[in-house]
Amino acid sequence: MWQALDCSNISFLLKLINRIRLQRKMNPVFVVFQSLIGVELMRVDTELISKANQIRQANVDDEVHLRGLIEISNYCRCNCLYCGLRKDNQRIRRYRMAPTEILSAARLAAEFGYGTVVLQAGEDPNFEPEVIAGLIEQIKKLGLAVTLSLGEWERQTYLLWKKAGADRYLMRHETANPELYSILKPGKRLSNRIKNLEILRKLDYQIGAGFMIGLPGGLDVEHKADLALLTHLQPDMAGVGPFIPNPDTPLGHFKAPSLENTLSILAQVRLALPSAHLPATTALESLYPQGYEWGLMAGANVIMPNLTPLHYQHQYQLYPGKAQTRNAAAYHQRIMELLNKLGRPVGKGPGHSILWERRQKDEKSK
Ligand code: 5AD
Ligand code: SF4
């Protein structure tokens, strides 16, 4: 049921909205929502969101798993039309973190009590797979689980990293529309992406698929095909966040999806994948200062605090305003305060996917 709550003093409200909007140059609808939590003028499907929240609680409980994100390189051989790391973008300074820097960031994750480190990069052909394997081994020695988000590689490379101890691999399918996929990712095919995810699963990785909400050219605003593909893949985790126009890309003049649409799709992903890990994405937080909070209320159970040294974070611009880049300690502090406020405990241990744990049990009992 779509619900639009009313407010008695509209003229006061409009003045307030205008004042805040002028100060912060924000979208007025969002300002209303932000300034009036509890008295929402926005058309949010409250029933759907509270259902997603219930399903999340019943299946994966109240814990929020924190995965420390380290953006190890912003080189990319691909040219995705939506992404600031695309190879034709000359406006960012490229970097590749040194192994010692990456290990220091991973040590911070252990200090903060996170169970997992996520190594993320563009598809960087000059980051030697063996060096990455060595890093995985070192990070595992810190008692952390390792998630990789490094793009498409040969099966041999995935195997090398798996043998080194990698636990999970994030590879969003981005859009379930094959034509749109090949337009937005020149030279790439959706079928190949899905094949990669299947290879990763066979190698016993916990896999993460997912998509961007409101991509330009995506006529299916309800994302039915994306939800159906997720249901088919049954990923251990699903990264689903809003598309954010990046002025340094060919899609810079398109619009981000509305907050209502974004939260509604996120909630539907939770209904489709009751036991999967679902992050409140950095993209959601980048669009709306309370994005993490709303994501956690709409079915999410994971946050990925950024541990990348600040001077590199500034260069890792997939899209603008990437959660208002903060240093690791400030990021950590803010997330702990948020979880405290919401009464959501921090997940203990590696936070493996329940689905993967079930698969392990089934294998053993065979
Ligand atoms: N807006 C939102 N998400 C983006 N990503 C890349 N560019 C954008 C953008 N402009 C997402 C993609 C990719 C992930 C690492 O970041 O979904 O898989
Ligand atoms: Fe590269 Fe990934 Fe960005 Fe595409 S989305 S340009 S593969 S970093």
Can you give the pLDDT at residue 123? 98
CA pair distance 41, 160, nearest whole angstrom: 52
Q: With b meaning 16 or more CB within 10 Å and e meaning fewer, what string describes 124-143?
A: beebebeebbebbebbbeee
Q: What average pLDDT does range 155-182 have in this prediction? A: 97
Task: Give nearest CA residue, ligand 1 atom 2.
Answer: 243
Condensed to tens digits (0 to 9), the pLDDT of residues 30-63 reads 444 444 444 344 567 889 999 999 999 999 999 9
Name which of 239, 337, 237 is nearest 282 in CA terms.
Answer: 239
Whether the per-residue pLDDT at 21 is higher than 80: the answer is no
* pTM of the predicted structure, to 2 decimals: 0.89
- Please report, rounded to a whole number, the percentage of residues in the chain having pLDDT higher than 70: 87
CA pair distance 254, 237, nearest whole angstrom: 28
Grade residue 150 by pLDDT with cuts at 50, 70 and 90: very high
Can you give the pLDDT at residue 321? 79
- Please report, rounded to a whole number, the percentage of residues in the chain having pLDDT higher than 90: 80
Can you give the pLDDT at residue 362? 87
CA pair distance 313, 71, nearest whole angstrom: 7
CA pair distance 135, 211, nearest whole angstrom: 28
Which pair of structure tokens corresponds to residue 279?
């992050």
Q: Which of 83, 126, 182 to mutate to test the pocket of ligand 2 (most atoms within 8 A of CB)?
A: 83
Cα 171 to averaged position of ligand 1 atoms, centre (Å): 11
Q: Which of 71, 73, 81, 82 to mutate to test the pocket of ligand 1 (most atoms within 8 A of CB)?
A: 82
Cα 142 to averaged position of ligand 1 atoms, centre (Å): 29
CA pair distance 307, 286, nearest whole angstrom: 16
Condensed to tens digits (0 to 9), the pLDDT of residues 232-269 reads 999 999 999 999 999 999 999 999 999 999 999 999 99
Contacts of 274 (CB under 8 A, 6+ apart): 55, 56, 58, 59, 60
Cα 16 to averaged position of ligand 1 atoms, centre (Å): 33
Burial tier of 11 (Cβ tally within 10 Å: 0-12, 13-18, 19+): exposed
**Mind listing the domains of the chain with CATH numbers?**
44-365 (3.20.20.70)
Can you give the pLDDT at residue 44? 74
Can you give the pLDDT at residue 326? 74
Whether the per-residue pLDDT at 308 is higher than 70: the answer is yes
Ligand nearest to the CA of 319: 1
Which pair of structure tokens corresponds to residue 118?
């996520």
Can you give the pLDDT at residue 80? 98
Can you give the pLDDT at residue 54? 97
Which pair of structure tokens corresponds to residue 86?
């695309």
Grade residue 363 by pLDDT with cuts at 50, 70 and 90: confident
Can you give the pLDDT at residue 43? 63
Can you give the pLDDT at residue 41? 41
| Torsion sign across C-alpha atoms 27, 37, 242, 1 | negative
Name which of 77, 78, 74 is nearest 91 in CA terms.
Answer: 74
Whether the per-residue pLDDT at 212 is higher than 70: the answer is yes
| Average confidence score pLDDT of the chain | 89
**237 to each of 109, 117, 168, 172, 337, how far by Cα in Å?**
20, 15, 9, 10, 25
Can you give the pLDDT at residue 324? 62
Can you give the pLDDT at residue 323? 62
**345 to each of 171, 276, 336, 363, how far by Cα in Å?**
27, 18, 9, 31
Would you say the CB of residue 122 lies under 6 angstroms from ligand 2?
yes
Cα–chain center distance at 270: 14
Residue type, 53: N
Ligand nearest to the CA of 241: 1
Cα 4 to averaged position of ligand 1 atoms, centre (Å): 31
Q: What average pLDDT does range 288-311 have in this prediction? A: 95
